[in-house]
Amino acid sequence: MSLRTRSWGFLGSFNAMASPCELLMAVDDEHIARQMLNIAYDEAKRIEHKFSRFIEGNVLWQLNHAQGEIIPIDAETLHLLTFAEQCFQLSEAAFDISACPLMALWRFDGSHNVPAQSNIDNALRHVGFASIELTGNSIYMPAGMSVDFGGIGKEYAVDRTAKILAQRWPNQSVLVNFGGDIACPIIKTDGWQVGIENPHKLDNAAALLTIRQGALATSGNTRRYIEVNGKRYGHIINPKTGYPIEHAPLSVTVLAPNCVMAGMLATMSMLKGAVAEDFLQQQGVDFKVFR
């Protein structure tokens, strides 16, 4: 974790949720900046440790290893699962956090292997949020099913951190940036300058946005994909076919009132494939699509 001075205030940085995280703070008091940074770090780590599917023994691990037993869940977990259920319904079963068995098959680690059809067919038998039953304080998931909060978790962490900071310092503008998912809870009159990565030239900005308040999220296949026999397979999986979405954009960036909404719309538009732009225009949000 580091804190550096800038002409406009302070820049804090750390790593969490497998991403570089930044906190831009328009403050002139280093003590306040350090307090803000500590809060952002603690909240990002808390959510990562609770909901990462790669951490053994945490809340999500217990849920994914319940093997058909009803298990109790707390209010925060219920909140995320309820939102995931809404995404599932709104997307007509395209945005499905229970696609975890498929995600475990598709490896974007440089191996360049397409899973065997028999393995995909077997995984598909354990996919489908409609089979999950939520009550006010418990969940039932059939044996063999599992969920992953990718597409929701990091965005939720951004919104949570932004909300905590805004409640404690309601007159101090900050920009929360966890791996490119961004929220600015307090208006900054002259705005924050945010670059959108060029998917054709990684680590370079293709456009510069000025954000005074609100949120931004990006979904894309620019870094996580494989090529097999000349065909490119992105990491966003169609939970109905078991294969990566066909004709999806390289990346989609969406501006919305909060990061969870921006992330949901960015992912849903990727799942729309060739008609991603039409879908986003119907939502009435500002967006940038690269193909």
277 in the same domain as 160: no
Q: For residue 206, what pLDDT is reported?
A: 78
64 in the same domain as 41: no
Helix axes 259-271, 276-283, angle to 10 degrees: 150
Q: Does pTM surpass 0.85?
A: yes
Give the up-direction half-sphere exposure of residue 116: CA atoms within 13 A in the CB hemisphere: 3
**Tens digit of pLDDT for each residue in 77-110?**
999 999 999 999 998 899 999 999 998 888 877 7
101 in the same domain as 27: no
Q: For residue 62, what pLDDT is reported?
A: 95
- Is 151 annotated to bind ligand? yes
**To 5 degrees, how large is the angle CA 239–CA 125–CA 236?**
20
70 in the same domain as 40: no
Q: For residue 76, what pLDDT is reported?
A: 96
Instruction: Report the domain count for the chain.
Output: 3
123 in the same domain as 169: no
164 in the same domain as 195: no
155 in the same domain as 221: no
The rounded average pLDDT for each run of 10 residues, N- to C-terminus, in the chain (291 residues) is 95 95 96 98 97 93 95 96 94 92 84 88 95 94 93 94 97 95 94 85 81 92 79 86 89 94 92 91 90 87
167 in the same domain as 226: no
Separation of alpha carbons 130 and 113, rounded Å: 30
**Tens digit of pLDDT for each residue in 171-214?**
999 999 999 999 999 999 999 998 888 877 777 787 888 999 99
The boundaries of the domain holding residue 104 are 59-141
Q: What is the total residue count of the chain?
A: 291
Separation of alpha carbons 168 and 237, rounded Å: 39
**DSSP single-letter state for residue 24:** E
Give the up-direction half-sphere exposure of residue 18: CA atoms within 13 A in the CB hemisphere: 8
The answer for residues whose C-beta is within 8 angstroms of residue 106's C-beta and 6 or more apart is 115, 233, 235, 237, 244
Residue type, 270: M
23 in the same domain as 164: yes
DSSP H or E stretch at residue 198: none
165 in the same domain as 119: no
162 in the same domain as 84: no
26, 165 Cβ separation under 8 angstroms: no
191 in the same domain as 177: no
- Is 77 annotated to bind ligand? no
